C-alpha cells in the first residue's frame, strides 16, 4: 500500500515570504449532510512545527485523526472550531452557513492571523483579513489539513453525542450523511430537530410519498 500523501507547507512559506507572520488555514465539514451542524476549524501552526502524518482528514483513519487532533491542539499557536446549526442552515442556505462557520472560526483566533488560506474556491465574505482560496487545500496546505482534522473530529464527536440522546437515526454510523440507513430511519420517524429541512433527497421524497 502506498503511503498517504502529506500536506505541505509551500503555501504557508510563500505567504510568510510577503511578511505575514501568522498564517491560518481554515476548512469545514458536514456540508453535504442531511442532519447536524456544519463545522469549521481555523488553525495557525508554528512555522517550524513538525507533526508527522498531517493530511486531508478524509485520508486518515478515525484513530489517526484522534491522535493528530490532540497533537494539533497541543502544538498550534492558536485554533478554534465554530458551528452553524441545522436551523440556521435552513434559514440562510448551506453555502452561506459554511462560509459563516469559517469566518467565525477565523475571527475567534487569538491573536488574529495576518493571512488566511481557505479550502475551496471561494473567499470568506466580510472577513477583514487578507485571504486566498485554495482548491484541494487540505492536501496542499498543512494548516488547512490541520483545520480539516479538527473540524472532522469535533463534528464526529458531536454526532456521537447526538446519537446517545436519540439513537433512532444511527448518527453513530453515518454522522448525518444521507445513507440508505439514514433515509430509512427518516422515513420511519420523520425529521428530528437536528435535521436540515431544506435538504430533501429524491429517494426520501419517494419513500414518504409512496
Q: What is the pLDDT of residue 51?
A: 81
Q: Which residues contact 13 (CB under 8 A, 6 or more apart)?
A: 47
For 82-103, the pLDDT digits (tens) are 999 999 999 999 999 999 999 9
- For the chain, what percent of residues have pLDDT higher than 90? 83
d(CA 43, CA 152): 13
Torsion angle of the four alpha carbons 4, 6, 7, 8, in this order, in degrees rounded to the nearest 10: -150
For 4-30, the pLDDT digits (tens) are 566 788 899 999 999 999 999 999 999
Q: Which residues contact 63 (CB under 8 A, 6 or more apart)?
A: none
**All domains of the chain in start order, with CATH:** 10-165 (3.30.420.10)
Amino acid at each position: 500500500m502506498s503511503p498517504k500523501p502529506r500536506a505541505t507547507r509551500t503555501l504557508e512559506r510563500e505567504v510568510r515570504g510577503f511578511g505575514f507572520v501568522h498564517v491560518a488555514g481554515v476548512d469545514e465539514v458536514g456540508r453535504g449532510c442531511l442532519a447536524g451542524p456544519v463545522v469549521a476549524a481555523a488553525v495557525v501552526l508554528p512555522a517550524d512545527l513538525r507533526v508527522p502524518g498531517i493530511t486531508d482528514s478524509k485520508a486518515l483513519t478515525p484513530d489517526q485523526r484522534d491522535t493528530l487532533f490532540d497533537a494539533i491542539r497541543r502544538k498550534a499557536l492558536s485554533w478554534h472550531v465554530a458551528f452553524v446549526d441545522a436551523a440556521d442552515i435552513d434559514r440562510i442556505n448551506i453555502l452561506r452557513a459554511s462560509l459563516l462557520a469559517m469566518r467565525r472560526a477565523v475571527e475567534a483566533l487569538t491573536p488574529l492571523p495576518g493571512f488566511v488560506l481557505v479550502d475551496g474556491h471561494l473567499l470568506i465574505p466580510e472577513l477583514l483579513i487578507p485571504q486566498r482560496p485554495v482548491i484541494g487545500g487540505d492536501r496542499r496546505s498543512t494548516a488547512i489539513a490541520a483545520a480539516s482534522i479538527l473540524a472532522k473530529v469535533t463534528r464526529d464527536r458531536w454526532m456521537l453525542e447526538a446519537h446517545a440522546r436519540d439513537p433512532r437515526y444511527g448518527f453513530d454510523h453515518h454522522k448525518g450523511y444521507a445513507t440508505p440507513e439514514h433515509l430509512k430511519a427518516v422515513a420511519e420517524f420523520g425529521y428530528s430537530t437536528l435535521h436540515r429541512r431544506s435538504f430533501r433527497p429524491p429517494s426520501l421524497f419517494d419513500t414518504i410519498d409512496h
